[in-house]
Amino acid sequence: MSKTGINNVKRVLLGSPDGPQRSRVANVLIVDNNPELIRFILEILARKGIHGIVANDKKAAVDLLDKGNYDLVFTSDKISQRSDLSGRPQSGFELLRKIRANSPELPVVMVTSDERRATSDELIETAVKAIRAGCCDFLIKPLQRERIESLLDTFLPNHGISTIASAQEDIRCLYQIVGRSEKLVQTVNLAKRIAPTSAPVLISGESGTGKELISYLVHHESRRAQGPYIKVNCVALSDSLLESELFGHEKGAFTGAYTQRKGRFEMAHGGTLLLDEITETPLKFQAKLLRVLEQQDFERVGGNENIRIDIRTISTTNKELLQEVQQGRFRQDLYYRLNGIRLVISPLRERREDLPDLVWHFVNLYAGEAQRRITKLDPVMMDIFTKYHWPGNIRQLRNVVRTSLILGVGETLSLADVSWLFDELQPLPQENKLSSGNCQSSISGLGGVPLVQIEQRAILDTLRQTAGNQTKAAKVLGISDRTLRDKIRRYRQEGCLQSA
């Protein structure tokens, strides 16, 4: 292993995405100066397409952790025999305390420095100390390849997903747009076409559909990508703060203005300004906003200096902006100024084919947090997801998957252990459509339907809602577990039920 590098740091790029079917590349920090151990772990990471970054001592590790985003850390209990500033050998426990103070959820795996010099009691004592200090695992040499691979599969899952657009800078993922639906592909392709221009962009869509993600894609694909990308959340700013936040203020402009402050327009010079939820700005302020966008200059609050800017604006809204104009809640002239090119992001219920990729994407993101390895998605859960209307869109789906990961058990992601989600994830009321057959009736109402078929419908629907959990289904139906098992057995014999 080469000793060259800056500040005793080696950056190793091992593996890369092999097309649109891969998730984002994870980053693992290895803190050690043992060449054999480093090489062994790097080889395993390489096979899994994971970035491995090596730091030879505590200082280099702290510098890397401060500058980058890491998904997992391997560290020795004794990083180096070389003394630190205190004159003591560098300890992995000191680094662990630093990580826990700054990144409490970052998983850390500790490795014994040399098992041949430690007794069994000493190893047990060190392992207990490491776990109590916050390590997610403790490995004893000689390291087992299978054990490390299992840890990586648990904390850094990399299930294949369809990614329409993504970008990565060094070890940081800038953005990743997941899905495969035709509507999403059309939106992303249009965003890429308009990105190189300076035309203002209006992105509309329901809350939680990913408008800000599309906004950043436009900026990153534009000629302003090297310039600043400044966001303004119009919802979070009161009328009194909005003008100062966007235009800045001079010292003494108002009570509390102790120093001069640059506004978001000035900060975005040479780049892109995102006006998030633009419809939340008051009408009085919209007139000032229009002037700045037209003339590309302004004055700070309390100042006389005319400040020239060169910015591109991207606006987002979850409302029908033209309707807001017609009802007098939004200025018509500002609407035409912002609506240079319009991008519409469809809600999740209109692109259900994106659901499997999005679920696996969130499993990749949060399985490590739950310390749970997921190898399969429950078909009943996915059927529920497909029928649900998702009013909170992708943001709601993310929270449902994350909750299921944390509260569930086993390697199959399901809703069986989160019963309260069944009430939330019910489809919109709709007319019952029953197919003909021994188990179902073609009659839309219940009048004239044999009682035995009504009972079958009630039991089968309840089993689907409870993801096949017979105990929960029996409780909902108000019958005993034994009675339900007998009926399920009979339905299977009649061919009405394949699995429950």
- Both tokens of 243, joined, read 């003008």
Residue of 78, 118, 71 whose CA lies nearest to 94: 78
Q: Please tell me the total count of domains within the chain.
A: 4
Read off the amino acid at residue 301.
Answer: V
Q: Is residue 73 part of a domain?
A: yes
pLDDT the model gives residue 230: 95
Peptide bond into 379 cis (omega under 30): no
* Contact of 30 with 143, CB cutoff 8 Å: no
> Residue 391's pLDDT is what?
93
Residue 167: Cβ-neighbour burial (10 angstroms; 0-12, 13-18, 19+):
middle
| pLDDT in the model for residue 255 | 79
pTM of the model: 0.75
Q: Give pLDDT, residue 446.
A: 54
Domain CATH number, residue 387: 1.10.8.60
d(CA 294, CA 303): 20
The residue with greater pLDDT, 325 or 113, is 325
pLDDT at position 495 = 61
pLDDT at position 346: 95
Q: Which of 422, 426, 453, 425 is nearest to 440 (CA)?
A: 453
Residue 361 or residue 491, greater confidence = 361
Q: Report pLDDT digits (tens) over 164-188.
A: 988 877 767 788 999 999 999 999 9
In a domain, 104, yes or no: yes
CA-closest candidate to residue 301, choices 269, 333, 266: 266
Residue of 213 and 80 predicted with greater confidence = 213
So what's the pLDDT on residue 442?
38
- Flag whether 365 is in a domain: yes
Judge if 274 and 413 occupy the same domain: no
Instruction: Give the tens place of pLDDT for each residue, 399-430.
Output: 999 999 999 889 999 988 787 887 788 776 65
Q: Is residue 317 one of the residues assigned to a domain? A: yes
Residues 420 and 442 occupy one common structural domain: no
Mean pLDDT of 8-29: 50
Domain that holds residue 215: 182-344
CATH of the domain at 239: 3.40.50.300
Contact 329, 369 (CB under 8 A): no
Q: Is residue 201 part of a domain?
A: yes
Query: What gap in Å lies between CA 418 and CA 408, rounded to an integer?
Result: 7
Read off the tokens for 478: 């108000």
**Domain-embedded: residue 168:** no
For 425-466, how does the pLDDT look when each residue is reduced to its tens digit (9 = 90+)?
A: 877 665 334 333 444 433 345 555 566 677 777 787 777 777
* pLDDT on residue 315: 95
- Tell me the mean pLDDT in the region 381-400: 94
In a domain? residue 477:
yes
Query: Packing angle between helix 239-247 and helix 283-295, nearest 10 degrees?
Result: 10
| Average pLDDT of the residues in 481-495 | 74
- The C-alpha atoms of residue 360 and residue 352 are separated, in whole angstroms, by 14
What percentage of the chain exceeds 90 in pLDDT?
42
For residues 334, 336, 342, 346, the Cα torsion angle rounded to the nearest 10 degrees is 60
Q: Are residues 422 and 437 in the same domain?
A: no
User: Does 286 reside within a domain?
Assistant: yes
pLDDT value of position 82: 59
pLDDT of 2 above 60? no
- Please state the rounded mean pLDDT for residues 105-119: 76
pLDDT of 163 over the 80 cut: yes
CATH of the domain at 119: 3.40.50.2300
Kindly indicate the confidence band of residue 330, based on its pLDDT and cuts at 50, 70 and 90.
Answer: very high
**Model pLDDT, residue 72:** 93
